[in-house]
Amino acid sequence: MSGASLLRLERITKSYGGTPAVQDISLDIPTNEFFALLGPSGCGKTTLMRLIAGFETPDTGRILLEGIDITHLPPHLRPVNMMFQSYALFPHMSVEQNIAFGLKQEGCARTEIAARVADMLRLVQMTDLGKRRPDQLSGGQRQRVALARALIKRPKLLLLDEPLAALDRKLRHETQFELIQVQRETGTSFMVVTHDQDEAMVMAHRMAVMRAGAIDQIGSPREVYEEPQTHHVAGFVGETNFFDGRVVQYMPGGVEIETTKGLRLEALCRHHPAIGARVTISVRPENLRLSSPGVFSNNGGIGEIIDHVFREGLSSVRVRLEGGDVVHVRQGQGEGVQDWVRGARVFVSFAPERARALLV
């Protein structure tokens, strides 16, 4: 999947008019990796991408590509290409001319350009549309042209700025898998900037979750989902339930807290909060279980079913706990799963190893 280090960011900082956009970010991207930069708008992910492409220069820090310092290299000299969010196709050129642009700048031979353009058109399944102008293409086709244009120079690293944002839902879903395939076929490292955690989860080998100019966590989608290290990551990636409280005692590998609503809950914890410190426990909906009151009595609370929806093979239940908090429980169908009726009283609980206590 991945090999030697391709891109290295060393303590990159960039501010605009005194407002920091990117703060002290270090990052390593190996070759042949599909990497996602995930974060809400304004978190600095686009700035980070523009720094790598060379449209911005960092205030401090270094950018290395295959060990060579490219921090101050202008964009046209960097062996990195970018696919723009708006696609930025040249409106006065045909699809073929758009794709050929990068090679023409290199001064490639005409025959080689023609052959490589044809390869690219095949790669993005646009062979019949080479003569069209961008304004004669659909959104999905424009996206493919932009991808082909950015890939034709065989960059070591391809930056993709919100590559799917302009597509409709269905097309977005299909295109995700096409991007995965193109990445695998070309062996180019992809770095996708996105605010959509679904996209990052589906496509990326590894992802970085950003907030306020800094990286909160880097890991595989699974690690990030199952082992969120901050409150922000737990809330931003996937759905979760939070229980806020204060640490009352240490447990093996974790802590026990008393929630603001008076529940005693136990969860694993990677941090070392002081007794009495404020923490929050994050439990994914699929890690909460429902039972009739009285069967279990620890690590949970009593509540009342407020609605119950069956969707995509899963049953989705919302429960209002005593004290007013609403939690979301997701259950697969099958063994031991009861059909809960609205208004029923249930005991909602979770296994401590399936939950994480996070600092707030």
User: Which stretches of the chain bind another protein, using CB under 8 A?
Assistant: 53-55, 74-77, 80-82, 84, 86, 88-92, 101-102, 105-106, 133, 136, 149-150, 153
Closest distance to another protein from the beta carbon of 141 (Å): 15
> What distance, in Å, lies between the first and last C-alpha atoms of the chain?
35
Give whichever of 44 and 54 is closer to another protein, judged by the CB atom: 54
Name the 3-class secondary structure at 94: coil
Burial of 241 (0-12, 13-18, 19+ CB in 10 A): buried
**H or E segment to which residue 103 belongs:** helix 95-106
**Whose structure tokens read 């062979």?**
127
Angle at 47 between CA 182 and CA 220, to 5 degrees: 50
Closest distance to another protein from the beta carbon of 105 (Å): 4
Closest distance to another protein from the beta carbon of 60 (Å): 23
Give whichever of 92 and 222 is closer to another protein, judged by the CB atom: 92
Give whichever of 163 and 300 is closer to another protein, judged by the CB atom: 163
**Whose structure tokens read 């992910």?**
45
Closest distance to another protein from the beta carbon of 199 (Å): 21
For residue 245, the number of C-alpha atoms closer than 13 Å in the C-beta half-sphere is 24
Give whichever of 161 and 266 is closer to another protein, judged by the CB atom: 161
DSSP 54: T
Give whichever of 60 and 105 is closer to another protein, judged by the CB atom: 105
Structure tokens at 293: 């009151």
Closest distance to another protein from the beta carbon of 166 (Å): 13
CA distance 54 to 75: 5
Closest distance to another protein from the beta carbon of 158 (Å): 11
Closest distance to another protein from the beta carbon of 284 (Å): 39
Bridge partner list, 160 = 83, 192
> How many residues does the structure list for the chain?
360
Give whichever of 148 and 218 is closer to another protein, judged by the CB atom: 148
DSSP 180: H
Structure tokens at 120: 């690219």
CA distance 138 to 91: 14
Give whichever of 61 and 75 is closer to another protein, judged by the CB atom: 75
Closest distance to another protein from the beta carbon of 15 (Å): 19
> How distant, in Å, are the alpha carbons of 98, 210, 247, 313 from that of 80?
17, 22, 48, 43
Give whichever of 133 and 354 is closer to another protein, judged by the CB atom: 133
